[in-house]
Chains A and B, each alone.
Chain A
Amino acid sequence: MATPTVHHGAMFDTDELVINMGPQHPSTHGVLRVVLRLDGEKVVDCDVVIGYLHRGIEKLSENRNWTQIVLLTDRMDYVAAATSNVGYCETVEKLLQLEVPRRAKYVRTILCELQRIASHCLWVGTHAMDIGAMTVFLYAFRERELILDLFEEFCGARLTYNSMRIGGLPQDIPPRWDKKVLEFCSIMDSKIDEYEELLTHNRIWLERTKDIGIISGPEAIGLGLCGPALRGSGVPRDVRKDEPYSAYDEMEFDVPVGTRGDTYDRYLVRMEEFRQSLRIIRQAVNGLPEGPIVGKVPRLIKPAAGETYHAIESPKGELGYFIVSDGKSTNPYRFRVRPPSFANLQGLRRLVRGHLVADVVALIGSIDIVLGEVDR
């Protein structure tokens, strides 16, 4: 980044102010550091510094056997751990050319969508909190708690689930669990309206989010944005629709897209995704087939030499795994993750330029990043 410039004026010279937002800052959602160059309160340029939460998950995975890696994927997007689990397991199944039973696929779909709601709850809460509406935060966490309870009942954990196995599920769903999921769906319906009541038509909210960080569809594609951040700009790209995995090919749902590509559109897209997720969960629970939960998995998982890339739609966007197997060892030869947060974070610099300091936190919220996933 360039050194701060001095503007020579007629009456006096003005300096650019360089301030450090983060790595310890209430609104950078973890340990993100944004170095801002300010002209008054206007952001001239910014530099995004990442890496404070790097744990070397990709390298670690190359020294673990295939089953152990599931546990590491929990630690990437820790607010949507089940999605990362599913993504990894499906990649390995693709490598093994393993058929997964339909029941397992359906349960995976339910878990992924519950996780999407949980992740979006966290997003709507923190995003609103950054803009100063603190009550939404508590409301959203109240509902997120219900989802965590469901997960706890399913796999015993509340944050890092380790909820998936290569070839299927670790265990069948507990009795009456599906009923509880449906009960949750009916509670959640009215709660989404509650969040929207507080925000969607609120004048201050509109003023704070409309026309902030506008990005056009082609530009968003050029920056590699994905997920709701891309759909907010009107690009109907959703891995669940375009390259269906799990049981999404049997589900009926819409992909909401925005029109202007500003923060408000990204907000609306995610709010609609809440509803679409509930729709998918209802279909999956009602159509849950009977049958085995694990496919024909070999005792020793040792895929033949080869490589594969498989992507799923995590709450934040396209979560891809690229895995190379050398066919000789019981661990991957190369393990590489394409995290959606990392891709979306690349857009931040472009988005904040020319806006005010207050908008920076709104924009960090609107691209919905998790630093655990960015740094891995």
Chain B
Amino acid sequence: MIDSFIIPLLKIVIVLNATLVAVTYMVLLERKVIAWAQSRLGPMRVGPYGILQPVADAVKLMLKEDITPTRADKWVFTAAPIISMVPALIVYAVIPFGPEVSLFGRKVALYITDINVGLLYIVSVASVGVYGIILAGYASNSKYPLLASLRASAQLISYEVAVTLTLVSVIMMSGTLSMVGIVDAQYNQHVWYVIAQPVAFVIVLIGGLAETNRAPFDLPEAEQELTGGFHTEYSGMRFALFFLAEYANMIVVSSVVTTLFLGGWLPPFPNTAVLHFLYYVPSWMWFFVKSFAFLYLFIWIRATLPRYRYDQLMRLGWKVLIPLAIANLVVTGIVKVALM
């Protein structure tokens, strides 16, 4: 009873809440880090150093008038933010934050579930999120959001091809689609896959940026061109859902990259006798530090780089990343066969 029902439920509640809090604080972190990059202070008014800013933002967004444009497609317009938020949250079901640990004398796994097609699940659920953006642009019945949603669909689909192809080479290394299995494989092979698969790592990182609509690939919401892009017509909490979904997706991407390439909860050079002292650091700590590093990188990139143009973005996706992903796949296969 406890093992099969209460503990999973508790885990879901904890992960869901932790995610939502992390997402809101991610927004604050981004504002702070970008402010520091630009020699400003960022939010300073709400609470000491602005740490209560997310609360103030949430209150503001909830109290705002929720406008539905007269000519919008009401049902789709309402459904779009939900469609983008839900996949971003349910992906967390398979992300392993740590291995099985004993807690209060009970063995507890630091992940909600470990399904044997975990990676496939993430890829497929993440691609559902695209519909949110497409439908938002379409349902708004407005020109700028329409252009933005066209951009978004083209961008997300083309980068998904590159990323998924690259993930195959990781699967070839690990021999499993389970997220926990992939970390275990890195443990058994004594190496993080970032060292074994550097090209794949770079492709997934770039593709991850593009899939989360982050700078320099933030075309669907290019403020300077499309006045806010697909969420131009949204206000209040519905706008906030898109916003939260973007940040939730950022956390997903950094967690996935951490799991696949940086050994998840494992310390550097896992399973090496000399470096055994590294295991004194709790496993989840390793995971969070690594994910945080990626999130920081995302913010840093946003503060530094200009934005790609639509056609250049497509060219990078189809002419550079996809051939590279295929080449990487072939080389991985050859090396694997040769080593066997």
Contacts and interface: CB of A to CB of B under 8 A. Distances in A.
A167 to B, nearest CB: 42
B306 A357 contact: no
Consensus secondary structure, chain A interface: helix
B306 A202 contact: yes
Interface string B303-320: 111111111100000000
Nearest to B144: A19
Nearest to A137: B38
B72 interface: no
A303 B89 CA distance: 76
Given A204-B216, A359-B309, A17 B143 contact: yes
Given A135-B38, A142-B39, A204 B305 contact: yes
A361 B310 CA distance: 14
Interface stretch (A123-131, A249-257, A272-280, A367-375): A123-131
B35 to A, nearest CB: 9
A129 B144 CA distance: 19
A131 B226 CA distance: 12
B303 A134 contact: yes
A132 B306 contact: yes
Interface string A173-185: 0000000000000
B310 A356 contact: yes
A7 B225 CA distance: 25
Contacts of A290: none
Given A138-B39, A139-B38, A205 B306 contact: yes
A301 to B, nearest CB: 46
A204 B209 CA distance: 15
A148 interface: no
Contacts of A129: 224
A133 B225 contact: no
B218 interface: yes
B37 interface: yes
Nearest to B216: A204
B12 interface: no
Contacts of B151: 41
Contact of A26 (B39, B227, B305, B306): B227
A245 to B, nearest CB: 37
Contacts of B305: 132-133, 202, 204
A358 B225 contact: yes
A356 to B, nearest CB: 6
Interface residues of B, number: 29
A128 B305 CA distance: 10
Contacts of B38: 134-135, 137-139
Please classify how large the interface on chain A is, using the bins under 10, 10 to 19, 20 to 34, 35 or more: 20 to 34
Given A132-B307, A133-B305, A198-B304, A361 B37 contact: no
B222 interface: yes
Contacts of A142: 39
A243 to B, nearest CB: 37
Contact of A130 (B34, B224, B312): B224
Contacts of A27: 224-225
Interface in A327-359: 356-359
Interface in B31-51: 34, 37-40
B309 A361 contact: no
Among A132, A208, A357, A360: residue with most chain B CB under 10 A: A132
A360 B309 CA distance: 11
Contacts of A133: 304-307
Interface string A289-331: 0000000000000000000000000000000000000000000
A207 B312 CA distance: 8
Nearest to A20: B143
A376 to B, nearest CB: 26
Interface string A5-48: 00000000000010100000111000000000000010000000
Contacts of B215: 132
Given A26-B227, A361-B225, A204 B40 contact: no
Contact of B223 (A26, A139, A198, A202): A26
Nearest to A138: B38
B339 to A, nearest CB: 36
Contacts of A130: 224
B108 interface: no
A25 B222 CA distance: 12
Contact of A208 (B226, B303, B306): B306
B306 A356 contact: no
Interface string B202-233: 00000000000001101100111111000000
B20 interface: no
A34 to B, nearest CB: 12
30 contacts: A26-B223, A26-B224, A26-B227, A41-B147, A131-B224, A132-B224, A132-B305, A132-B306, A133-B306, A134-B34, A134-B38, A134-B303, A135-B303, A137-B38, A138-B38, A139-B38, A202-B305, A204-B216, A204-B305, A204-B306, A204-B308, A207-B308, A207-B309, A208-B308, A356-B309, A356-B310, A357-B147, A357-B225, A358-B222, A360-B225
Q: When A and B form their complex, which 8 residue pairs have the shortest distance between CB atoms, in order from nearest?
A: A132-B307, A138-B38, A133-B306, A27-B224, A132-B306, A131-B306, A358-B309, A130-B224
